[in-house]
């Protein structure tokens, strides 16, 4: 892919930073997903915990956790607290994948080249594993072990719930299901994507500011950055779906188009989408200018989501 100034960045250095953050978050995820019950729990059925682990620990770029941790680092927040919030967000992301993959939803058998949870276990177990992961996310954030003042833990629970619920991700999934019967117009597509994929990415960037107790204006700036890269993320995904072959994806491609799903890239064409993508990256980077070199890694995340090819 041709790169202009705004999308050029040190991909290898970024990938290494992404992997480093991923290892920290995965350590938290493994710890909260041990079979030993937490205080106040009765017992954790082995099959349910195994299905949750399958859904959460089977890889992935851990982009959302990375955004939480980098935005927290921007404000010099405690890294361990940020890693726990990042792990909670990943639980929400993975629960949504488990439920989206169900036969009644997108009916996918493979995810990252592995059997989806309902294929590796069964449908009922997959429903429960998703439910339990969503619940665990709020557990992780609210727990005193997160080492944040209660005010910040409560604010994080609220912001995460708003991003994930009926007016955010879950609502976006509902709109996506309805889009199969009644293709949305451009405004409808934008709303659907802002909810289905945008809300959690926006939360990821905002969360770091909440963890750090940053002023409201900073929190809003990071949230706007999150919205911009959320749009870029979706546009890159749409472009990939328009152009990539199945081999590099690990899942069926051209699927959105085959299902008649409207995307902005399909609506306006590849050239428009690439220009739009470059504009979003520039806009996202500009939002971080006040932070100078401290925000270099976060700024590169904008280029990363635009340039990703898998």
DSSP 95-138: HHHHHHTSTTTT--SEETTEE-HHHHS-HHHHHHHHHHHHHHHH
**Shorter beta-carbon distance to a second copy: residue 74 or 98:** 98
Q: How far is the CB of 267 from a second copy (least distance, A)?
A: 20
Task: Tell me whether residue 174 is exposed, middle or buried, using C-beta atoms within 10 angstroms of its C-beta: 0 to 12, 13 to 18, 19 or more.
Answer: middle
Going from the C-alpha of 204 to that of each of 144, 259, 292, the distances in angstroms are 20, 30, 20
CA distances from 108 to 18, 116, 195 (A): 27, 7, 21
Rule CB under 8 A: is residue 57 a binding residue for a second copy?
A: no
Total interface residues for a second copy by CB under 8 A: 66
In angstroms, the Cα distances linking 158 to 142, 152, 154, 162, 248 are 10, 10, 6, 6, 37
Q: Which of residues 90-119 bind a second copy (CB under 8 A)?
A: 95, 99, 102, 104-105
139 binds a second copy (CB under 8 A): yes
Which one among 17, 63, 77, 159 touches a second copy, defined by CB under 8 A? 159
Q: Does 181 bind a second copy (CB under 8 A)?
A: no
Q: Closer CB to a second copy, residue 38 or residue 110?
A: 38
DSSP string, 43-109: ---HHHHHHHHHHHSS----HHHHHHHHHHHHTT--HHHHHHHHHHHHHHHHHHHHHHTSTTTT--S
Q: Does 235 bind a second copy (CB under 8 A)?
A: no
Nearest residue (CB) to a second copy, 32 versus 299: 32
Asked if residue 171 binds a second copy (CB under 8 A), the reply is yes
Tell me which stretch binds a second copy (CB under 8 A): 22-30, 73-81, 165-173, 254-262.
165-173
In this chain, which of 116, 125, 234, 263 binds a second copy, going by CB under 8 A? 125
Contact status: 183 vs a second copy (CB under 8 A): no
β-bridge partners, 110: 115
Query: Binding of a second copy at residue 123 (CB under 8 A)?
Result: yes
Is residue 31 a contact residue for a second copy (CB under 8 A)?
no
DSSP annotation of 75 reads: T
Q: How many Cβ atoms from other residues are within 10 Å of residue 109's Cβ?
A: 14
Instruction: Verify binding: residue 259, a second copy, rule CB under 8 A.
Output: no
Kindly state the smallest distance separating residue 251's Cβ from a second copy, in Å: 19
- Choice between 41 and 271, CB closer to a second copy: 41
Cα–Cα distance between 138 and 32 in angstroms, integer?
Answer: 12
Exposed/middle/buried for residue 186 (C-beta within 10 Å: 0-12, 13-18, 19+): exposed
* Nearest distance, CB of residue 193 and a second copy, angstroms: 10
Cα–Cα distance measured from residue 268 to residue 118, given in angstroms and rounded to the nearest whole number: 36
Decide if residue 178 touches a second copy (CB under 8 A): yes
| Minimum CB–partner distance for residue 71 and a second copy (Å) | 17
Task: Enumerate binding residues for a second copy (CB under 8 A).
Answer: 37-45, 47-49, 52, 95, 99, 102, 104-105, 122-125, 127-128, 130-132, 134-136, 138-139, 141-144, 149-151, 153-155, 157-168, 170-175, 177-178, 191, 194-195, 199
């Amino acid at each position: 892919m041709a790169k202009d100034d705004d999308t050029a960045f040190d991909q290898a250095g970024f990938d290494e930073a992404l992997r480093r953050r991923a290892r920290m978050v995965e350590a938290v995820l493994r710890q909260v997903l041990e079979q030993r019950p937490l205080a106040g729990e009765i017992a954790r059925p082995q099959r349910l915990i195994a299905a949750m682990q399958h859904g959460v620990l089977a890889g992935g770029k851990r982009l959302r956790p990375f955004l939480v941790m980098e935005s927290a680092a921007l404000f010099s927040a405690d890294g361990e607290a940020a890693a726990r919030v990042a792990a909670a967000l990943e639980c929400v992301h993975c629960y949504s994948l488990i439920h989206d993959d169900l036969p009644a939803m997108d009916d996918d058998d493979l995810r990252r080249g592995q059997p989806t949870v309902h294929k590796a276990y069964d449908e009922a177990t997959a429903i429960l594993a998703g439910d339990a992961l969503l619940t665990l996310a709020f557990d992780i954030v609210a727990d005193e072990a997160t080492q944040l003042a209660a005010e910040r833990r409560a604010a994080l629970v609220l912001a995460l719930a708003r991003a994930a619920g009926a007016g955010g991700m879950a609502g976006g999934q509902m709109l996506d299901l309805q889009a199969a019967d009644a293709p949305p117009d451009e405004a409808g597509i934008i709303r659907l994507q802002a909810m289905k994929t945008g809300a959690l990415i926006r939360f990821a960037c905002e969360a770091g500011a909440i963890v750090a107790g940053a002023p409201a204006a900073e929190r809003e700036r990071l949230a706007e950055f999150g919205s911009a890269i959320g749009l870029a993320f979706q546009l890159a995904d749409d472009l990939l779906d328009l152009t990539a072959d199945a081999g590099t994806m690990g899942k069926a491609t051209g699927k959105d188009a085959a299902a008649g799903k409207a995307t902005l890239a399909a609506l306006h064409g590849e050239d428009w989408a690439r220009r739009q993508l470059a504009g979003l990256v520039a806009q996202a980077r500009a939002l971080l200018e006040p932070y100078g070199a401290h925000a270099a890694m976060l700024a590169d995340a904008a280029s990363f989501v635009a340039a990703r090819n898998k």
